[in-house]
Structure 1
């Protein structure tokens, strides 16, 4: 692979060739220019400063007794702490294991169980976290014999230990990326420096055509692939200045995303579909004063089902402040392929197919709306499904569609046939960390099984859903995403907070068929008359749109449905809780309130970490 480099080499190169460029970190209090926030509130690290700080952090980790190949877990809410400690581990040859931080007081036991699983599976010898979080992790250390120490990041910041250089090669493991666990317990994806170098070329050269003058702006969590690889490692390799907001600041005040793009003339920013919908819901017209999005040339969208209606409404709503619909770049990716699998074409905007829904659902065959005579019922818009293209495979990579039962990957399906999406190429992982059985299950012949359903049309990829989540009723396949979309249109249902799934009775007359269940969140969960009205309308909406009868509708308070650390709905966990009769037990207490209140609590917690780091720690700012 031409010009392939390790991350450690990329740090050195960036410091030499673009010493004055680097990363900026917006404080929790907001962007400069807002009340009480000054220019100096943003922490700034040039690539030269990042090289120096990485060496210092790496020396501190070595002083803990960590050696090349050892794993170190990172639970670091503050973006600057995370970036410097991650790079410090990399330059020392130590394998970082990012773990998401606790998001609030609710479901703490679930968080600790998940953290124990990752720490134990990775075999991490040390865990780095702020002192406040360290106090929560006593049970994690006692349950993981390999975990020798939990160290406060405040001590790492102050360390002046010199780095002992290590030889790092492209074949070395760069870091372990644990999957978000939306369908199962998190698995440790082993990514080499060579995997990353291959995928970064796909992203920055082939996908985004990175150019002089680009500026990245991101609020994405750095402990997940899109935020870490897409907006930390990729900009470092290509020396693209990047500005970071915390995820909680964005969730609390989405307008800060627009303000940061305006202030720094951002050109590249990515987000899941829900984030574009959140902007539409939470940003008011008066907030747009002074906003200019005309510099935004790549508005990527991925990580969850992409709804054309969301992108179209976003484009029309913000056209008046310079946003261009052609900036949208719908994308498809997954941790097992480092990050990116396919990007749609630049400057094209969303490419949407209108399909015959009944044919797609029952036969797995793609028929365009224009190809079906009106007598088939396609004059009824409720039978039409609109899907967004995620583009084509990158050079040296392959995307093929196979029957899910094809264990050899020798006979790909033809275009316009729905099947399992499988991929191959140098970006694809070699396997899951120390898990031979799950690695073997993940591959069919030379192809990685994504577990996603989709099809190719004109050699472009369209996503339908996940294999294990398809609901089968009377021999016909239904995708949960379509049911969720229909349900989400009902007034009173919280956007992005609907889960549809199939469930079986353990015994009795209905044990041989799959029941269809929809669980949704509403602010009116305690108003019986309102929930009955909403539930009735959900049943009607799904019946009218898909011709499907819903067996059970469950109304829940805001903040109840289980989600992964990256915000993805957990259908499998929801089904398990429902079948155990425990789904309604997940409702937050009155004290915890809604998800927004939980986000506010987490934002306050992270702000205290930031203040502790900057004011209490009195660390030296590196320019």
Structure 2
């Protein structure tokens, strides 16, 4: 494909080439019919016609180059809304549908204010409810709703394609807010084209690609991977809502089997869910041999997950070579790096103590230094006692310029040194919407050697053997006795301590604390959701002590507190990422209900958990 073309032109070429022979399929559960599911198709030709009609309507409203909020449930209507905005040169802002009944609409209100939203695109089923919320929020008259499935009466033949420049904003991707308030990333048409080609090259995709997925459309992985990439490639895609997937995880694999999918994608927790919930009886009807690619990204990729997937589903065709660990973020449109097609994951063992000093020293299984990749073996986790950490490579960039930089001195670091990951190239977004200072600091960084501009990702990592390894977020780093410990390493060790463990969040209590409590950064807290039934004869109190002992021993922590709680204690973003800072705040505010715990005296004295 010619890189100089705009994204809309490529979509229109695929519409002319394939019409409705290429299509999206949305899978929903039929109400009142048990485990019965309905598939609804939307061909490229019909989608194009609806998008052109919507674009004509939006043009008549006079909102070209303005931001418009897209609030849709998962389904095909969102595709029309988003593509209609692209066709009209309107800046789409995809966002999760607010849970108005539960009063959780603060994030939506912040987006409306931040992006100066005047119009919301939605469907007929939700327009009245949204209009009522706008009235209650004092936004009626300022913000209006348009139901794109019924409120558009325009002739698609009247559409004329606007002029697109590479720097013109295509959409705003609001960050998930896992470590800070959500910010609108301005993704330009040039960014979109560049990253679409990056993905095409890495997956070697084309019109014969068939995808199946469930990642929400407001998440960068879902929007780019499941909506825009199929339009760019001219291929088929089958998707379902995250709620439908969570209710019956095996459906994901059944759809891969039925449609002979060649690619799927999900964060690591999605693969963990099917490992826990798919039964032996359900395996019998599955055939995953058609899969060429299973992308795993958007959160830490765990070696144990990759290995257990091969061990469990190898009998029904899931191969090691299918894995494609990857790394990316909204600020780079999506993809930064991924394993080459058909190579499978690179998993290596590194000296744990050296990593705490920001040095990546490879180890063999007996603890000696080595340069070779660790053999792929089933059943192993990511941590081996106190001295070893297993890491999964995020692969290699296709064309982007990726550097590892000392975040303080801004000096470029050599291979084997841990620093902040900086990214340069055409996929890097223009910046944050209406945030010039943060844009300058994050998107226009220059190294001490004068190289740049680069995006500062906020992620720590290193390069070894040409492979990029991501070790964690700078903001989630826990410093104990001068050593750097990554929160997700603590969480992985805690989850591995007992079978009843579920979602886990680790954080430090930084001084000063409320009420003058003298707990410093060495006071580490683990909040773990747990199923009481899984405790069995041991009881939850014993599980809390077991978790504390296992984690403290593995990391040499002088003090550690464990709180076991029910579902919902650990705060998560709308895309499922753990919000450690919000969980920490909930703990300090006494909003976490403790089922059992093993707390340090200073932490117990705070009285911040409820019984």
TM-score range, shorter chain: 0.7 to 0.9
Give distance in 1, aligned partners of 2:529 and 2:126. Answer: 30
Distance 1:287 1:513, change over 3 A: closer
Distance 1:517 1:92, change over 3 A: same
Residue 279 (structure 1) shift? 0.6
Deviations 1:246-301 (A, max 9, x none): 21111111111111111111001111111111111111111123311111000110
Deviations 1:383-442 (A, max 9, x none): 2110001111222x1111111113xx4x21111111111110010011101110111221
Choose which of 456, 479, 482 in structure 1 pairs with 2:489: 482
Normalising by structure 1, what TM-score?
A: 0.85
Normalising by structure 2, what TM-score?
A: 0.87
Choose which of 373, 390, 404 in structure 2 pairs with 1:401: 404
SS of the residue corresponding to residue 348 of structure 2 reads strand
Give distance in 2, aligned partners of 1:153 and 1:559. Answer: 34
Where in structure 2 are the equivalents of 1:253-264 lying within 5 Å? 253-264=248-259
Where in structure 2 are the equivalents of 1:377-526 lying within 5 Å? 381-395=385-399, 397-406=400-409, 409=410, 411-443=411-443, 444-445=445-446, 446-491=453-498, 493-495=500-502, 497-506=503-512, 510-524=518-532
Mapped pair 1:59 → 2:66: no
Give distance in 2, aligned partners of 1:555 and 1:159. Answer: 56
Distance 1:438 1:350, change over 3 A: same
Give distance in 1, aligned partners of 2:324 and 2:332. Answer: 19
Contact 1:127 1:147 in 2 (8 A): no
Choose which of 119, 132, 138 in structure 2 pairs with 1:126: 119
Greater share of helix: 1
Residue 178 (structure 1) shift? 0.4
Give distance in 2, aligned partners of 1:461 and 1:283. Answer: 32
Residue 221 (structure 1) shift? 0.6
1:298 aligns to what? Answer: 293
Choose which of 109, 115, 122 in structure 2 pairs with 1:116: 109
Mapped pair 1:322 → 2:317: yes
2:179 aligns to what? Answer: 183
Contact 2:25 2:239 in 1 (8 A): yes
List gaps (5 residues or longer) in structure 1.
Answer: 587-623
Residue 578 (structure 1) shift? 2.0
1:610 aligns to what? Answer: none
Give distance in 2, aligned partners of 1:145 and 1:428. Answer: 36
Residue 316 (structure 1) shift? 1.4
Distance 1:405 1:294, change over 3 A: same
Give distance in 1, aligned partners of 2:521 and 2:29. Answer: 53
Where in structure 2 are the equivalents of 1:15-54 lying within 5 Å? 15-29=15-29, 36-37=36-37, 41-54=38-51
Deviations 1:169-212 (A, max 9, x none): 1332111100011111110000111101001110012x101145
Contact 2:349 2:363 in 1 (8 A): yes
1:564 aligns to what? Answer: 573
Give distance in 2, aligned partners of 1:391 and 1:527. Answer: 39
Mapped pair 1:236 → 2:241: no
Deviations 1:334-382 (A, max 9, x none): 0000000001121111110111112212x1111112298669xxx9744
SS of the residue corresponding to residue 336 of structure 2 reads strand
SS of the residue corresponding to residue 427 of structure 1 reads coil
SS of the residue corresponding to residue 208 of structure 2 reads coil
Residue 140 (structure 1) shift? 4.4
Mapped pair 1:275 → 2:270: yes
Residue 303 (structure 1) shift? 0.3
2:240 aligns to what? Answer: 245
Residue 149 (structure 1) shift? 0.5
1:370 aligns to what? Answer: 364
Distance 1:5 1:247, change over 3 A: farther
Residue 137 (structure 1) shift? 5.7
Contact 2:28 2:39 in 1 (8 A): no
Give distance in 2, aligned partners of 1:213 and 1:513. Answer: 53
Which deviates more from structure 2 when the two are superposed, residues 143-152 or residues 563-572? 143-152
Choose which of 530, 537, 546 in structure 1 pairs with 2:546: 537
Give distance in 1, aligned partners of 2:551 and 2:558. Answer: 7
Distance 1:231 1:453, change over 3 A: same
For this pair of structures, how many residues does the alignment match? Answer: 568
Give distance in 1, aligned partners of 2:250 and 2:13. Answer: 35
Contact 2:77 2:123 in 1 (8 A): no
Which deviates more from structure 2 when the two are superposed, residues 212-221 or residues 340-349? 212-221
Deviations 1:232-255 (A, max 9, x none): 111111111111112111111111
Structure 1 vs Structure 2 CA RMSD? 2.8
Give distance in 1, aligned partners of 2:139 and 2:224. Answer: 28
Higher relative contact order (CA 8 A, sep 6+): 1
Give distance in 2, aligned partners of 1:405 and 1:276. Answer: 36
SS of the residue corresponding to residue 128 of structure 1 reads strand
Give distance in 2, aligned partners of 1:516 and 1:267. Answer: 43
Which deviates more from structure 2 when the two are superposed, residues 503-512 or residues 438-447? 503-512
List gaps (5 residues or longer) in structure 2.
Answer: 370-382, 447-452, 596-611
Distance 1:364 1:525, change over 3 A: farther
Residue 62 (structure 1) shift? 3.6
Choose which of 182, 188, 191 in structure 2 pairs with 1:192: 188
Give distance in 2, aligned partners of 1:347 and 1:271. Answer: 18
